[in-house]
Chain A
């Protein structure tokens, strides 16, 4: 159960959305500027809304009515940003394990070796992010989020910078994570085909409002 109820205003732009999804993969889609990334930032704890409640299963991350607002670092939310945000001064290997020393709480989701193999990162481990292609950076960012042992994964346009050859693999990876680890995934996309195949629930957002909520083709 994923529950996102938010009221937020920023200048001229306002968001008022109440999204409830019973499946494991929720897709937020809609045109750019609809407020999708703002929603992810609120879920991750990087932005505080005026009012709202964010909960996944039994865990309440935010509930302004009850004065609950867990800091981002304690939410254990793996956030794959639209731009990879890798640490430029650290090697790929150190980027991947950055969150590992804080991830000891709870059982480990995946092992470093598995993530490296799955994402094809072996030949990149010693490199700096400046010497990676866009798709390589994105794969490292996905690996880094997975290795922080998250309770929820957020993905902001995860396949944007990935070439077609890898796209299939990444889609399969997301499915694997969903099925094998039962980790809830919330992702943002403007690609309807992607959304249909992966998502159990699809929320269509326009101008900060939820305009449609429907089931996707992904397993519930």
Chain B
């Protein structure tokens, strides 16, 4: 084989690699979007309300950030595996199996990205002027309406930042994913776990390079989109 042919071949993704790329995007999108409402709700509670056990709730939400990911993955396996309480309940009620499925990878991605999301969104909610919320109160608006029409719109840049952070974390998630759903090519193998497999394979250098390139491209695109969206929101609030 000539050098030229080897190089052109090196740029073409194999079907297993394509599957890993699409699976990563699917897992990260589903994981980030499904945890977003929970993250916004919790961020609001932490930013605006005082309640008993608040510091405990805050610590629990941040746990995945400080625990070794492998521990998080193992805890997910214990809780959401086929024999776990939540896993059995989900299978009984909705026929949903998480362990060793892409849905489990999405759950692992959501859990790992959650603390980053909550932090970014909490900061942006704290930055919303409480006096505007008070003004809305005097105009007769109930708390849920103020949340939806004042707090969330004004915190949108932070919510977008949180969403992108959660998505980026999900794309890169490795430890919890491989522990909870393993690394099955074509089924649960994501970009990160595929790169890991390729680095263990003496012939895997080309795969590693291709997938690294894709990982870089997705990361840049995510950052670019988040900047562009935040700029649009800033322009809107400046009266544009």
Q: Which residues of A contact B (CB under 8 A)?
A: 44-46, 71-79, 81, 83, 85, 87-89, 98-99, 102-103, 127-131, 144-145, 148
Contacts A46-B134, A46-B137 aside, 16 further interface pairs with beta carbons under 8 A come to A46-B138, A72-B137, A74-B140, A79-B138, A81-B131, A87-B136, A89-B154, A89-B237, A98-B136, A98-B141, A103-B140, A128-B236, A130-B239, A145-B138, A145-B139, A148-B139
Alpha-carbon distance between A76 and B139 when the two chains are bound, in angstroms: 7
Question: How many contacts between A and B, using CB within 8 angstroms?
Answer: 73
Interface of chain B, helix or strand or loop or mixed? helix
Question: B4 on the interface (CB 8 Å rule)?
Answer: no
With A81-B131, A98-B141, A99-B141 as contacts: A88 and B237 at CB distance below 8 Å: yes
With A72-B134, A81-B135, A85-B132 as contacts: A99 and B239 at CB distance below 8 Å: no
With A88-B154, A88-B237, A129-B239 as contacts: A73 and B138 at CB distance below 8 Å: yes
A131, B239: Cβ atoms closer than 8 Å: yes
| Number of residues from B at the complex interface, CB < 8 A | 22
User: What B residues does A130 contact at CB under 8 A?
Assistant: 237-239
Alpha-carbon distance between A130 and B154 when the two chains are bound, in angstroms: 14
Alpha-carbon distance between A76 and B149 when the two chains are bound, in angstroms: 19
Alpha-carbon distance between A1 and B140 when the two chains are bound, in angstroms: 23
Cβ < 8 Å to A, chain B residues 106-162: 129, 131-132, 134-142, 145, 149-150, 153-154
Q: Ordered nearest first, which 9 A-B pairs have the shortest CB separation?
A: A99-B139, A102-B140, A128-B239, A130-B239, A131-B239, A85-B135, A79-B138, A72-B137, A148-B139
Residue among A71, A72, A79 with the highest chain B CB neighbour number at 10 A: A72
**Complex: chain A residue closest to B236, CB-CB:** A89
Shortest distance in angstroms between B231's beta carbon and chain A's nearest beta carbon? 15
B140, A148: Cβ atoms closer than 8 Å: yes
User: What A residues does B137 contact at CB under 8 A?
Assistant: 45-46, 71-73
Q: Which residues of B contact A (CB under 8 A)?
A: 129, 131-132, 134-142, 145, 149-150, 153-154, 236-240
**Complex: chain A residue closest to B130, CB-CB:** A46
Alpha-carbon distance between A46 and B134 when the two chains are bound, in angstroms: 7
With A73-B141, A87-B150, A102-B141 as contacts: A79 and B238 at CB distance below 8 Å: no
User: What B residues does A77 contact at CB under 8 A?
Assistant: 138
Which of A46, A98, A131 touches B139 (beta carbons < 8 Å)?
A98
User: What B residues does A98 contact at CB under 8 A?
Assistant: 136, 139, 141, 149
User: What B residues does A103 contact at CB under 8 A?
Assistant: 140
Which of A74, A89, A144 touches B153 (beta carbons < 8 Å)?
A89
User: What A residues does B132 contact at CB under 8 A?
Assistant: 85, 87-88
Alpha-carbon distance between A45 and B140 when the two chains are bound, in angstroms: 12
**Complex: chain A residue closest to B136, CB-CB:** A98
With A85-B132, A87-B132 as contacts: A148 and B239 at CB distance below 8 Å: no
Alpha-carbon distance between A99 and B149 when the two chains are bound, in angstroms: 12
Between A and B, 14 residue pairs with Cβ closer than 8 Å are A44-B138, A45-B137, A45-B138, A73-B138, A73-B142, A79-B135, A87-B136, A88-B132, A98-B136, A99-B141, A102-B139, A102-B142, A145-B139, A148-B138
**Complex: chain A residue closest to B150, CB-CB:** A87
Alpha-carbon distance between A130 and B239 when the two chains are bound, in angstroms: 5
User: What A residues does B134 contact at CB under 8 A?
Assistant: 46, 72, 85
User: What A residues does B131 contact at CB under 8 A?
Assistant: 81, 83, 85
User: What A residues does B238 contact at CB under 8 A?
Assistant: 128, 130
Alpha-carbon distance between A89 and B129 when the two chains are bound, in angstroms: 13
A144, B139: Cβ atoms closer than 8 Å: yes
**Complex: chain B residue closest to A44, CB-CB:** B138
Shortest distance in angstroms between B135's beta carbon and chain A's nearest beta carbon? 4
**Complex: chain A residue closest to B154, CB-CB:** A89
